[in-house]
Amino acid sequence: MLSYQHEYHAGNFADVHKHLCLRVLFEALCRKDKPFCYIDCHAGAGRYDLGGPEARKTAEYTGGIGPLWECRTQPASGTVAAYLDAVARLNPDGELRYYPGSPALAQQWLRPQDRALLLELHPQAQQRLKQNVGEDSRISVHTRDCYEGLTALVPPPIRRGLVLLDPSYEVKQEYRQIAALAVCAHKRWANAIYAIWYPLLPAARQRALLAALEQSGMPRILLTELTVADGTDQSGMYGSGMAIVNAPWQIDNTLAALLPAVANRLAPGRGATELRWLVEASAGQATG
C-alpha cells in the first residue's frame, strides 16, 4: 500500500479545480430528474482538518480554498457559490477549519433518487470515511482497490452516472494504468461520464495518460487545466488537469466562463487556464 496522505494537500489549488469541475458535472446530471450513480474510485477520508498538523505543515490550502473563502461574501457564479456553500456547511462558525473531500461534496449534492459508491482501500482512511458519511441510504462504502472495484461495480443498475478517478500517481506507470481502467469501464458502462484528474508536473508525465485517452476510441474528451505558475522553475506540481470523457453538452462553455476568474484569484497575475477538446464532439452527440 502506497504512502500518499491527502491530509497534507487538502484544499490546495488542485482540489479547488477538481471540485469545481465535479460541481459542474453534478449540475449537468441534475438537469434531468432521472437518477444517476456517482462512483468515487479514490474516496479518501471524506473530510480534512485544515488545523491539523499535516495541513499546517504544508499550508497548501492557503493557495487554494483559502483565497476563495476570503471572498465568499462577494458575488460569484452559481457554481462557485454552491461549492463555497458546501465548504461553509462544514464550518458553521465562519472560520475555515474543515475541508470536504469529494465524497462529502457528493453527499451534499446528491438528490434523494441518486446513489454513490465510494471506494477506499486504506483502512484508516476508510474508517474515517464511514464516520464522516454516517448513515446515508444513498451511499455505500467499499473496501476495494479502484482497478478491481470499478470493473466489478459497473454497470450499476442506474443507467446514468459519473466516475471520478483521481489517484495520487505515486507510481509513474499509473498514468497509463488509469487510462486503461477508464477504457475497460467505458466498455461496460459506455454512457457514464468519466472525470480523470491528473497533476501538471515539470516531467510532463500526463502526456502518457492523454495520449492513451486520445487513442482509446472513447468519445467527447474535454481537457481543462488550471495553472498557478508557468512550470519552468518548479520542482513540484504547478497545475491541475481534468480529462472529461463523455463531456456533457456545453460544459466547455460553462468551464470557460468559470475558471479564469478562479485562477486569477488563486494566483494573481500568474494563474491561467486552458480548455481544449482532446477528442472532438461529433455532431448530434450529447451526454447527461
The answer to the question of residue 288 being in a domain is no
Domain count of the fold of the chain? 1
Dihedral sign (CA 130, 134, 137, 138): negative
* CATH number for 27: 3.40.50.150
| Res 51: pLDDT | 93
Query: Which of the following is catalytic: 40, 166, 230, 233?
Result: 166
Residue 83 cell numbers, joined = 461549492
Residue 42 cell numbers, joined = 479514490
Cα 184 from Cα 179, distance rounded (Å): 9
What is the full per-residue pLDDT of the chain (288 aa) written as tens digits? Answer: 456 678 888 999 999 999 999 999 999 999 999 999 999 999 999 999 999 999 989 999 999 999 999 988 887 789 999 999 999 999 999 999 999 999 999 999 999 999 999 999 999 999 999 999 999 999 999 999 999 999 999 999 999 999 999 999 999 999 999 999 999 999 999 999 999 999 999 989 999 999 999 999 999 999 999 999 987 766 789 999 999 999 999 999 999 999 999 999 999 999 999 999 999 976 444 455
Specify the pTM: 0.95
- Cβ neighbours around 194 below 10 Å, total: 27
Active site residue 40: no
| Res 2: pLDDT | 55
- Cβ neighbours around 18 below 10 Å, total: 23
Contact 99, 120 (CB under 8 A): no
| Res 57: pLDDT | 93
- Identify the domain containing residue 22 by its residue range: 6-279
Name the residue with cell 463555497.
Answer: 84
Contact 218, 180 (CB under 8 A): no
Nearby residues of 145 by Cβ (< 8 Å), 6 or more positions away:
119, 121
Name the residue with cell 472529461.
Answer: 244
| Res 1: pLDDT | 46
| Res 234: pLDDT | 66
The answer to the question of residue 287 being in a domain is no
The answer to the question of residue 98 being in a domain is yes
The answer to the question of residue 286 being in a domain is no
| Cα of 4 vs its chain's centroid, Å | 17
